[in-house]
């Protein structure tokens, strides 16, 4: 099984009990980037839904950056 699909990250909002489902990639967003179902229902990122991605996308994004850096540094 893929590790990134097994990851459970608790919502950064201490009042929420759910795990993170989406990540906000909007560069100018000031709200928490990690969102659970309750966050989504509260509509915090409703003005820029096009910048929301599933949590596994974050891990892929990090790996892509890591690979890019390794390529640039020729490690």
Tens of pLDDT, residues 24-71:
999 999 999 999 999 999 999 999 999 999 999 999 999 999 999 999
pLDDT in the model for residue 52: 96
Query: Which structural domain range is residue 54 located in?
Result: 3-73
Q: Are 13 and 6 in contact (CB under 8 A)?
A: no
Q: How many structural domains does the chain have? A: 1
Q: What is the mean pLDDT of residues 6-20?
A: 92
Q: Are 22 and 40 in contact (CB under 8 A)?
A: yes
Q: Reduced to 3 states, what is the DSSP secondary structure of residue 53?
A: strand
Picking from 1, 24, 20, the residue whose alpha carbon sits closest to that of residue 10 is 20
Please report, to the nearest 10 degrees, the dihedral formed by the alpha carbons of residues 51, 52, 53, 59 taken in order.
Answer: 80
**Where residue 75 falls among pLDDT bands split at 50, 70, 90?**
low
Helix boundaries (H) for the chain? 37-42, 55-73
**Where residue 7 falls among pLDDT bands split at 50, 70, 90?**
confident
């Amino acid at each position: 099984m893929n590790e990134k699909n097994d990851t459970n990250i608790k919502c950064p909002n201490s009042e929420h009990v759910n795990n993170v489902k989406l990540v906000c990639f909007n560069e100018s967003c000031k709200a928490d980037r990690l969102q659970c179902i309750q966050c989504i229902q509260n509509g915090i990122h409703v003005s820029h839904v096009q910048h929301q991605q599933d949590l596994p996308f974050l891990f892929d994004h990090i790996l892509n950056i890591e690979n890019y850096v390794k390529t640039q540094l020729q490690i």
